[in-house]
Amino acid sequence: MNDIICARITAGGSAAISVLRISGKGTIELVSEFFSPPKKLLKAPGNSIVYGNFHDGSGRIIDEVLLSVFRAPHSYTAEDSIELSCHGNPSIAERILGILLSKARLANPGEFTLRAYLNGRIDLSQAEAVNDLITAGSSKAETAALMQIKGFLGRHLSEILDRIREARLRCELAIDFADQDLPGIDLEDLKDRIRGILRDAEALYTEGSSGIKLREGVKICLAGAPNAGKSSLFNALLKQNRAIVTPMPGTTRDYLEESFSLRGYPIVLWDTAGLRDSDDSIEQEGIARSYALMREADLILMLYEGDFPGIGDELRDFESKIIPLASKADIVSYPKLPEGHVSISVEIKDGLSDLAEMIIRRLSLPSKIIDRPLITNSRHLAALSRGISSLRDALTALDLDAGFEIIAFELISAASALEDILGVLPTDELLGKIFSEFCVGK
């Protein structure tokens, strides 16, 4: 924590500019050894920009640079830090970094954000959201991560945590009172409190499941008989001519995977081999993969042309996630579709927005996420689930009159699960795991 770290914070390759970040106590003095005019930098106030030349220490100029100067605690890391912008030729950034590394150390992945956390500027859920934002696959995922960085989730969890701690305090008081023969505490009130906490925690959990989908992408599999129009729909949804389409049944064999954004939601879409009995061993392998993907998918779009063949025994397990699609509606007439079916025509671009509506409805994706804290991280969701089961155990213990020691114990476990999310007392191992997922420079 006491040394000066630096790293490139923009992507490699050529660009208009490259940016390096240097952070830690003594950063401004260190950079001034390689900057002219040095006095201008040494006197620069926080949140200011200084223009000058970066040199190699012996006066040989490497590049013209702009330094954004931040003074503790008003910086990303809450330490003195500088963001150095140089020309975007990768070899210039490398030479500058090389010179800085004679006096500083290369930052580990996520180390700038780790320092922001260790210096108390952000909580752990905010730190993890920084990484989510960098890797977000769609606009809704970005919004959710941004909200977390702003601390929405952290504040909501802290509030739940305070309520758990208060309930625990009541239990501990009850234990003391019993020792001193004082009147006991209001049991109904305690029960109501724990029930209320449990309700809020469960709501956060339920929404969290769709939050995870926001981050990882909803998996949708196109399936159905050969020639039903799967690859045509695949191309239409991606708005690009990705899959081979021919009038010959059995065109697609190996599956295709692409990602796209559907009304702001990240979707992973699979086009698969048509399902039929086949003697061709290559096609058989393709069909086996179609089944494997259907199993993994969150939703299956089952295309059929003409009469609905029904859902056979081999698809029974997947029934709840199937949306039947009547295809080629421009040449096939569908007088009355069964409930829950959608008709589409890729040829005349009809029914595609009904399909989008249906997908969003079937996945119960939140239509708005701006005003609610949302869990989007599976580590957080797992911790919340541990907290919920401790809260349930506390309620059961209360119902069974198990004694305040037991209830207090369950409440302590519930609190510690939420503390894991906020990083109140995280272990080194947990911190190492979280920050190692970051890229160097963040």
Ligand X SMILES: Nc1nc2c(ncn2[C@@H]2O[C@H](COP(=O)(O)OP(=O)(O)OP(=O)(O)O)[C@@H](O)[C@H]2O)c(=O)[nH]1
DSSP-based three-state secondary structure for 5: strand
In this chain, which of 10, 53, 108, 251 binds Mg ion, going by CB under 5 A? 251
CA distances from 176 to 41, 173, 186, 376 (A): 61, 5, 14, 41
Question: For residues 101 and 244, which CB has a smaller minimum distance to ligand X in the complex?
Answer: 244
Question: For residues 228 and 422, which CB has a smaller minimum distance to ligand X in the complex?
Answer: 228
Partner interacting with residue 380 (select from Mg ion, ligand X, none; CB below 5-8 Å by kind):
none
Partner interacting with residue 309 (select from ligand X, Mg ion, none; CB below 5-8 Å by kind):
none
Question: For residues 104 and 243, which CB has a smaller minimum distance to ligand X in the complex?
Answer: 243
Question: For residues 46 and 226, which CB has a smaller minimum distance to Mg ion in the complex?
Answer: 226
Partner interacting with residue 18 (select from Mg ion, ligand X, none; CB below 5-8 Å by kind):
none
As measured in angstroms, the least distance from the Cβ of 251 to Mg ion is 5
In this chain, which of 27, 113, 125, 231 binds Mg ion, going by CB under 5 A? 231
CA distances from 202 to 50, 121, 154, 205, 374 (A): 51, 28, 16, 5, 12
- In the complex, the residues that contact ligand X under the rule CB under 6 A are 226-232, 245-247, 249-252, 274, 327-328, 330-331, 345-347
Rounded distance, CA 26 to CA 2, Å?
10
Question: For residues 210 and 227, which CB has a smaller minimum distance to Mg ion in the complex?
Answer: 227
Partner interacting with residue 172 (select from ligand X, Mg ion, none; CB below 5-8 Å by kind):
none
Question: Helical H runs in 324-424?
Answer: 352-362, 378-399, 404-422
Rounded distance, CA 231 to CA 272, Å?
8
Considering only CA atoms, which of 167, 164, 127 is closest in space to residue 426? 127
# of chain residues touching Mg ion (CB under 5 A): 4
As measured in angstroms, the least distance from the Cβ of 223 to ligand X is 9
Residue 85 sits in the site that holds Mg ion (CB under 5 A): no
Rounded distance, CA 363 to CA 352, Å?
17
Rounded distance, CA 412 to CA 419, Å?
10
Rounded distance, CA 9 to CA 93, Å?
11
Which residues are within 8 A (CB) of 151 and not within 5 positions of it... i.e. 6 or more apart? Answer: 122, 123, 126
Partner interacting with residue 347 (select from ligand X, Mg ion, none; CB below 5-8 Å by kind):
ligand X
The type of residue at 294 is M
With contacts defined by CB under 5 A, name the span among 168-176, 207-215, 246-254, 381-389 that binds Mg ion. 246-254
Residue 290 sits in the site that holds Mg ion (CB under 5 A): no
- Site residues (vs Mg ion, CB under 5 A): 230-231, 251-252
